[in-house]
């Protein structure tokens, strides 16, 4: 498999290079902006209160084209350590080239989000106020790899991705093999469903079945994410290690009223009976995690992308923590959307 991936990567690079030479690609930027989020964070843990001002996001976002069929994307986290001698892209979410080889086939190489189903995982991090333990505990949600996607119908795509494992630090010889369907059943019901085979740092394999469902009706949005995690060595494959997340957003004029909650469980029996090794290194065996919260967002400008105020509260049963945030998110457009040059 790894030799096949190497051959695919080499062929893809050669093909993209040949396409760019034939089409006289010069490279240009379609869109360039900086976005950031700052909050006043308050919490109580075991009755002890603390508070602080924080700036938790500062991102440089670049979208561009090399030719009409080859585009690229970069998202650099400017508030994260940029250089690590073992992983120079540790502060980079996206740095990839995407080639639309035919009307149905496209190929991508570079650093991209791991293809794991679910709309919480797929959401832009600056738009998420609190995460499930699965998303919070992953070593990395963006990794280097290659992928191929086939659009078999309008709005329907099957994608296969091989990338560095999200259960590693990106410098180990462990991988993730991901198959996903990005599509939907109706205009009101969109999906990100995946099956994943993921190696941990000890080269043990765990599988994910992740079903992300997005429902949209005019001013009402409802997401439901379902995930089953299992090693093939477990006694029971289904229903002993799972995550369920639901989110609702109701839009009223310039306001969003939001609510979100989740449950995550992993049976204490999901360990190797001989070695005691945990099959799931992200959600530990014996975990029973519940969390829920609500919030409000206000968009004072005509464009919802440029300025947002929010207040969000959530509580969990694991740390008995109460969290309340007041925050502001803003975006500065340096280059706005431009039409693709032909």
DSSP readout, 23-54? HT---EEEEEEEEEEEEEEEEEETTEEEEEEE
pLDDT at 320: 78
Question: pLDDT, tens digit, for every residue of 241-268?
Answer: 999 999 999 999 999 999 999 999 999 9
Residue 10: the pLDDT is 43
Highest mean pLDDT among 94-108, 158-172, 315-329: 94-108
Rounded Cα distance between 34 and 82, Å, is 17
Which residue from 29, 140, 161 is spatially nearest to 89, judged by alpha carbons? 140
- Collapse the DSSP code of 265 into the 3-class scheme (helix H, G, I; strand E, B; otherwise coil) and give the result: strand
50 CB burial (10 A radius; 0-12, 13-18, 19+): exposed
Contacts of 58 (CB under 8 A, 6+ apart): 34, 36, 77, 78, 79
- Tally DSSP H helices, then E strands, for the chain: 3, 16
Report yes or no: 305 and 330 within 8 Å, Cβ to Cβ.
no
At residue 22, φ and ψ (nearest 5 deg) are -65, -30
Residue 278 carries which DSSP code? B
CA 115, 244, 153, 219 dihedral sign is negative
pLDDT value, residue 17: 45
Q: Is the pLDDT of residue 4 over 80?
A: no
Phi, psi of 120 (to 5 degrees): -70, -45
Q: What confidence tens digit (pLDDT) does each residue in 187-212 have? A: 999 999 999 999 998 899 999 999 99
Nearest residue to 249 via CA among 272, 278, 219: 219
pLDDT at site 282: 96
| Whole-angstrom distance, CA of residue 77 vs CA of residue 61 | 9
Which segment of 78-82, 251-255, 286-290 scores lowest on mean pLDDT?
78-82
Helix (H) or strand (E) holding 69: none
pLDDT at 249: 98
- C-alpha to C-alpha distance for 116 and 85, rounded to whole angstroms: 28
- For residue range 33-42, list pLDDT tens digits in order: 999 999 999 9
Q: What percent of the chain has pLDDT above 70? A: 89
Is a pLDDT exceeding 80 seen at residue 31?
yes
The answer to whether residues 291 and 130 touch, using CB atoms and an 8 Å cutoff, is yes
| C-alpha radius of gyration, the chain, whole number | 21
């Amino acid at each position: 498999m790894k030799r096949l991936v190497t051959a695919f990567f080499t062929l893809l690079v050669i093909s993209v290079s040949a396409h760019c030479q034939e089409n006289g690609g010069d490279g240009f930027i379609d869109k360039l902006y900086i976005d950031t989020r700052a909050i006043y964070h308050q919490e109580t843990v075991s009755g002890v209160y603390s508070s602080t001002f924080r700036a938790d996001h500062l991102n440089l976002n670049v979208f561009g084209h090399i030719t009409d069929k080859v585009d690229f994307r970069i998202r650099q986290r400017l508030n994260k350590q940029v250089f690590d001698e073992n992983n120079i892209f540790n502060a980079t979410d996206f740095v990839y080239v995407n080639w639309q080889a035919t009307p149905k086939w496209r190929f991508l190489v570079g650093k991209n989000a791991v293809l794991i189903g679910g709309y919480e995982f797929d959401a832009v991090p600056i738009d998420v106020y609190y995460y499930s333990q699965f998303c919070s505990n992953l070593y990395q949600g963006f990794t280097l790899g290659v992928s191929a996607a086939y659009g078999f119908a309008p709005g329907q795509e099957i994608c296969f991705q091989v990338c560095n494992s999200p259960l590693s630090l990106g410098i180990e010889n462990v991988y993730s093999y991901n198959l996903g369907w990005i599509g939907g059943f109706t205009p009101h019901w969109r999906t990100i469903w995946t099956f994943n085979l993921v190696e941990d740092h000890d080269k043990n394999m765990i599988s994910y079945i992740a079903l992300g469902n997005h429902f949209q009706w005019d001013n009402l949005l409802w997401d439901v994410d379902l995930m089953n995690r299992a090693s093939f060595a477990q006694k029971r494959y289904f229903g002993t290690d799972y995550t369920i997340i639901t989110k609702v957003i109701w839009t009223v004029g310039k306001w969003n009223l939001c609510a979100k909650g989740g449950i995550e469980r992993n049976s204490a029996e999901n360990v190797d009976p001989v070695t005691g090794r945990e099959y799931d290194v992200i959600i530990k065996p014996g975990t029973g995690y519940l969390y829920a919260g609500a919030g409000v967002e206000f968009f004072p400008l005509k464009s919802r992308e440029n300025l947002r105020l929010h207040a969000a509260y959530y509580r969990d049963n694991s740390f008995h923590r109460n969290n309340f945030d007041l925050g502001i998110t803003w975006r500065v457009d340096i280059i706005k959307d431009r039409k693709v040059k032909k």
